[in-house]
Structures are given as structure tokens and as C-alpha cells.
Amino acid sequence: MARTRFIGDPGLTARMTTVMFLLGGLFVVLIVSLMAVGGRGLAPIIGIVGIGIAVYQWWRSDTVAMKAMRAREVTPEQAPELHAMVDRLCVLADMPKPRVGVADTAMPNAFATGRSPDRAVVVVTTGILKTLTAEELEGVLAHELAHVAHRDVLVMTVASSAGIVAGMVTQGAQYGAMFGGNRRDGNSALPVWLMMLLVSIVVYAVSFVLLKLLSRYRELSADRAGAYLTMKPQALASALQKISGEMNAIPDRDLRASQPMNAFFIAPAVKGVSMRTLTSTHPSLEQRLEQLARIQAELGRPTG
């Protein structure tokens, strides 16, 4: 992770390294398996496409995320209080100041993205600005800046490439199997497409689970780092409770539209769903509040 005043997290570093290594291995397995089952002409194309997707995600992650949320970058003149808060936290954390953005949506949320601390952007929604107090918003921003300092946003973005490529191969194999099955003399091609389908499904499933496990841990890590930086864990706990409560008032249509960004939000765009599942992007609210309460007790401050 970058050298800042955020507390270090060897567990997060180890998990990010392991996930990247395993996903890289899965990508190699996918390519080798394609070659082994007869897709020698297709394997190099998949390899090039996979590398291209990873590079594109690395290079354009901030732009893609902001477009997905229809967010706009704001200047200190346009959002003086928000910029002042980010300025204070960056000085406190001894880290470069990221760009600041605002997404015009009633859903209370925030996220950070970017390929490096120098190219990062922290985005908040108009909904969260209306929902939280200044102290609570500071806790949320500290959480997002911790993601930037930990560089886990970059790892999550690039690591998702393996799942994207596997998904592409899965779809291609399904179409290939259908096409081969409809040809009179194409029966011999069916096992090749079937093997491609099975391998790509396995790669996709494993990458999906690995990313969800990493996503949940990195949220707990950012909660810890942000709470220790501001020394106000109860403010972040209060913010998480408000955000989760307000999510129930957001129309289902708006929540569905935002769900592709769930892994990057401070709280998932869902209502009334338990986060204690293998496929969830975030730890449960109860788990996060328990951790923040322990930090509050450790700092010797009463919980509100």
C-alpha cells in the first residue's frame, strides 16, 4: 500500500497479492485449456483480449466509474465545504489529494476509484450530502481515501478482468455449441465447445468468489483505517446506519441501475437483504458496526 498515515493492513496486502496470483493462474489455465481442447486459434485471441481488458480497466477505471454513475468533477469553488473536508483528511493522512466528484442521485452513497493515488477520484452522491452530518461525511470520506491509499480499488478493477474474459468465453461456447449442434457434420465440434464452456464457467465462478471475499475484507479494512485516522469511529458507524436505512426509500429501478457499482460503494445498493452470503460484496452491517464499536472502546470513548 502507499506510504500514508493510514494504519497498515498486512492482511489486506496478503489477500490482494493472493487474489491477483490466483486469478492470473486461472487466466493461464483458461488459455491452456482452450488450446488443449482444440481452440488453438482462439486461445491467442482470448489472451490478447484479456490483457487488453485489464490494461483498459487499469488506465480508464476512474472515467468508466464516473460515467457509470453520471458523476461530474467539482472544483473548490463549486463545492467548497466538500473540498475543504477532503483537504483536511489528505493533510492528516499525508497523501495526495484526489479529484472530487458529485453524482446527482438521491441514493446516499460514495465511492473511490482510479489507477493510483495521483489519478484517483472520490465521488459522493447528492443524496449522501443531504443525509449525513459533517462529522459523518468526514468518516465516509476517510473510508474512501483509505481505499485509495490501500490501492485495493485498482486491484479490484484489474482482477475483475479474469471474470469478464471467462464470461465472454462462456457466451461464445454456448453459441458455438448451438451452432455446431445444428450442423449435420458438426457433431465432432460439440465436445470442444462443451469443454470450453465447462472450463470458462469454472474460471468465472472461482474469480467471482475470490473477488467477493476480497471485496468484503477490503471494506472492513477501510472502515478500520478511516476510523483510526479521524479518531471518530462512532461517526462512521452512524453514517453506515443512516445510509443503510435511507436505501430502503430509494426506488427499486434506481437501485438496479446502480448495482454494477456495488463493489465500489461504501454500502451496497440493496434494501433489506442480509450481507452474510458468499456472493455479497460487503460484510454485514452488524459486523461493521461491531468492529467500529471495538475501535471506539479501544480509543476509550463512549459509544453513542
Catalytic sites, residue numbers:
144
CA pair distance 198, 245, nearest whole angstrom: 41
